[in-house]
Amino acid sequence: MVRNWLIDPHKLETKSSSMVIRKTGKAPWNGKDYYVSLGDGIHRNWEDCRRYGFISAGQGRWYSNMLNLLKPGARIFACIPRVGYVGVGIVQEEVVPIKDFQVTINEENVPLLEVDLHIKMDKDVDDPDLCEYVVRVEWIKTVSKHEAIWERGMFENQNSACKLRNQLTIERLTEHFQLEEE
């Protein structure tokens, strides 16, 4: 039995990948990277997220439910809308309501709501639909809002979290944050 190729198998793989993009409108996902939209304003503060190792979302289930996608070991790229990407980190724990989230200060566990925060985050803490939800993150690299990276063509989305499939964004952020790829 002899194999005759009408199309080079390597070209077929490339073609099939581009066909997936055209057919579904989405590039294949690498299985680890997520985009996180982090509103920095009256409900949360980027500097608090950096300092205490978390990301959060709330003020409605539509916002907070997306954080359920984030599982321990996932890599996240945090983006402040209309500002740019400000950090990359690894998810350490699954999402919890803010009233259940603790941070370690001087080797002691302290509720996040009791630490010195730039923004008071205790609104609607007893309402599971409106309260803030928090995900613990070990930051690999972060920058201030003033050092955020943004280029035309980079991915941005209104969801609090989603799979990051945009190869341009991943490549630029990997380079900018000096990440080593496996």
**Nearest by Cα to 110 from 37, 171, 53, 50:** 53
Indicate the pTM of the whole model: 0.83
What integer pLDDT is reported at residue 43 of this predicted model?
A: 87
What pLDDT score was predicted for residue 25? 60
Cβ neighbours of residue 51 closer than 8 Å, sequence gap 6 or more? none
pLDDT digits (tens, 9 = 90+) for 142-179: 999 999 999 999 999 989 999 999 999 999 999 999 99
Q: Which fold has domain 29-176?
A: ph1033 like fold (3.10.590)
Q: How confident is the model at residue 20 (pLDDT cuts 50, 70, 90)?
A: very low
Instruction: Give phi and psi for 135, each to the nearest 5.
Output: -125, 125
pLDDT greater than 50 at residue 98: yes
- Exposed, middle or buried, 159 (CB in 10 Å: 0-12/13-18/19+)? middle
Q: CA 48 to CA 55: how far, in whole Å?
A: 9
Q: Measured between alpha carbons, how far is 124 from 161 in angstroms, rounded to an integer?
A: 21
Question: DSSP string covering the chain, please?
Answer: -----SS-HHHHHHHHHHHHHHHHSSPPP-SSEEEEE---SSS--HHHHHHHTEEEE-SSHHHHGGGGG--TT-EEEEEETTTEEEEEEEE-S--EEGGG-EEEETTEEEEGGGS--SS---TTTT-TTTS-EEEEEEEEEE--GGG-B--TT----SSSEEE---HHHHHHHHHHTTPPP-
Task: Assess whether pLDDT exceeds 70 at residue 87.
Answer: yes
Q: Which of 82-86, 93-97, 120-124 has the lowest mean pLDDT?
A: 120-124
